């Protein structure tokens, strides 16, 4: 093997590039010049890798695809988001594939890591690679190896999470297997086909979506019955096979996105999966549900909504990360603002102001202020030791979406 080209250096591509570069010559390519400039300085603004990890590795960050020409393995790790109508947006994947197609040569292997629906690699990517006039499994080869990293999780990292590999033929499967196994501590699993590997990835996140939707629905139901959901889950968890899921907002670009890929593919084949669809509906509906709950409690506490001051804690898509893409906490803030409430946002993980959000964001926890409502949207580690009651006005209350605060008569849970 001469060298490996990584296309897309985000949360997935960068750790992959640096890990492979501890053993192989790696070229990293990205369409974002600002990102490349920082990476050359050993700075990862997503904070997924530390500056130490840029040391003692053989990696070159390049702006021109032509500089990838010497590679014989390309790994594509570009985003697969949703369009506004919740349909898969393959534009990044198609563009990245075209980039590789333009420089593809005999003997090359192209591996995809982006999350897609089953069949996408064969139906969407391979035809673009074939525009090079090379023939699959004669001149070039394809693999699919989904990524499982979990942003903000320092225990389950790229190196110690087991990885699935699949390929367009047996010898390519062996090559890809050996490549990943040579840098991973965890075991690499050979899937029998690319479709199986694609499906396995997308159901991992869909399974989480369905399970979280179930506990979110329980939380809505038990709040009507005035039963503490967390206590119910704690009690039920004493059974050996009860699954440990907690209620909460489901945003981001994995659990909140991937099920739509599978739903789309399934519907195109004439099967409408009711359970997956309902789970999406429950989780998508949570911000508006919480906003309504908060409005009801404002009335209950005889707070004048036109004068109410609301502090929202946490605006990222999940706890302990700085990523705000598809954040349901932001959606919650917007619903609250649209109902006329004055919102102040505090999130220690998100630096600076939010260009698109016309709400006040403060850089420090406001220890000298009092609020009518304090919402804990997420369980950031910086929030765990806050005692919110002392920052409440006389009739004020706390709304704890994740249910981690000590029970108190002015603390409500989802």
Ligand X SMILES: NC(=O)c1ccc[n+]([C@@H]2O[C@H](COP(=O)([O-])OP(=O)(O)OC[C@H]3O[C@@H](n4cnc5c(N)ncnc54)[C@H](O)[C@@H]3O)[C@@H](O)[C@H]2O)c1
Give the residues lining the site for ligand X (CB under 6 A): 7-13, 29-32, 35, 77-80, 92, 95-96, 99, 113-115, 147-149, 151, 253-254
Instruction: Report DSSP letters for 43-73, one per residue.
Output: --TT-SS-GGGGTT--EEEES-GGGGTT-SE
Task: Select 151 or 405, whichever has its Cβ closest to ligand X.
Answer: 151
Task: Select 7 or 414, whichever has its Cβ closest to ligand X.
Answer: 7
Task: Select 121 or 229, whichever has its Cβ closest to ligand X.
Answer: 121
Q: How far is the CB of 244 from ligand X (least distance, A)?
A: 21
**Closest residue to ligand X, Cβ-based?**
10
Q: How far is the CB of 152 from ligand X (least distance, A)?
A: 9
Q: How far is the CB of 138 from ligand X (least distance, A)?
A: 26
Cα separations in angstroms, 379 against 49, 126, 191, 246, 316: 22, 42, 36, 12, 11
Task: Select 77 or 229, whichever has its Cβ closest to ligand X.
Answer: 77
CA 78: distance to chain centroid?
13
Strands 360-362 and 342-346, how do they pair?
parallel
Task: Select 10 or 348, whichever has its Cβ closest to ligand X.
Answer: 10
Strands 309-313 and 342-346, how do they pair?
parallel
Angle formed at CA 89 by CA 264 and CA 316, multiple of 5 degrees: 100
Q: Which residues are catalytic?
A: 254
- Side-chain half-sphere exposure of 118, counting CA atoms within 13 A: 17
Q: Of 369, 368, 377, whose CA–CA distance to 398 is shortest?
A: 377
Helix 274-284 × helix 258-268 angle, to 10°: 140
Phi and psi at residue 311, in whole multiples of 5°? -105, 120
Task: Select 113 or 400, whichever has its Cβ closest to ligand X.
Answer: 113
Q: How far is the CB of 108 from ligand X (least distance, A)?
A: 17
Backbone conformation region of residue 70, classed left if phi is above 0, alpha if psi is from -120 to 50, else beta: alpha
Q: How far is the CB of 79 from ligand X (least distance, A)?
A: 4
Angle formed at CA 331 by CA 325 and CA 332, multiple of 5 degrees: 135
């Amino acid at each position: 093997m001469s060298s490996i080209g990584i296309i897309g250096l985000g949360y997935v591509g960068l750790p992959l590039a640096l890990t492979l570069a501890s053993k192989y010559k790696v070229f990293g390519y990205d369409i974002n010049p600002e990102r490349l400039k920082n990476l050359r300085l050993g700075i990862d603004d997503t904070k997924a890798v530390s500056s130490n990890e840029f040391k003692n590795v053989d990696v070159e960050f390049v702006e021109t695809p032509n500089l990838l020409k010497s590679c014989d393995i390309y790994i594509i790790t570009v985003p697969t988001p949703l369009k506004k109508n919740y349909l898969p947006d393959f534009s990044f994947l198609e563009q990245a594939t075209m980039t590789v197609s333009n420089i593809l040569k005999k003997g090359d292997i192209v591996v995809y890591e982006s999350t897609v629906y089953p069949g996408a690699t064969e139906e969407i990517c391979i035809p673009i690679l074939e525009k090079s006039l090379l023939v699959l499994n004669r001149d070039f080869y394809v693999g699919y190896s989904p990524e499982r990293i979990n942003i903000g999780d320092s225990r389950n990292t790229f190196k110690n999470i087991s990885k699935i590999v699949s390929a367009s033929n047996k010898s390519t499967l062996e090559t890809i297997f050996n490549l990943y196994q040579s840098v991973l501590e965890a075991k690499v699993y050979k899937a029998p086909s690319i479709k199986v590997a694609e499906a396995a990835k997308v159901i991992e996140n869909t399974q989480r979506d369905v399970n979280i939707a179930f506990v979110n629905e329980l939380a809505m139901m038990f709040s009507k019955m005035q039963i503490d959901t967390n206590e119910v889950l704690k009690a039920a968890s004493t059974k050996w096979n009860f699954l440990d899921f907690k209620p909460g907002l489901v945003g981001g670009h994995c659990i909140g996105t991937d099920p739509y890929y599978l739903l789309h593919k399934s519907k195109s084949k004439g099967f409408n999966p009711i359970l997956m669809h309902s789970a999406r509906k429950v989780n998508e509906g949570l911000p508006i549900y919480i906003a309504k709950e908060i409005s009801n409690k404002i009335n209950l506490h005889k707070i004048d909504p036109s004068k109410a001051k609301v502090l929202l804690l946490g605006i990222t898509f999940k706890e302990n990360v700085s990523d705000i893409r598809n954040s349901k906490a932001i959606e919650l803030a917007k619903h609250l603002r649209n109902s006329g409430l004055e919102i102040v946002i505090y999130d220690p993980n998100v630096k600076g102001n939010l260009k698109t959000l016309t709400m006040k964001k403060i850089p420090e926890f406001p220890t000298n202020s009092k609020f009518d409502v304090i919402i804990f949207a997420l369980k950031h580690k910086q929030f765990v030791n806050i005692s919110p009651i002392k920052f409440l006005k006389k009739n004020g209350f706390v709304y704890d979406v994740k249910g981690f605060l000590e029970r108190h008569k002015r603390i409500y849970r989802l």
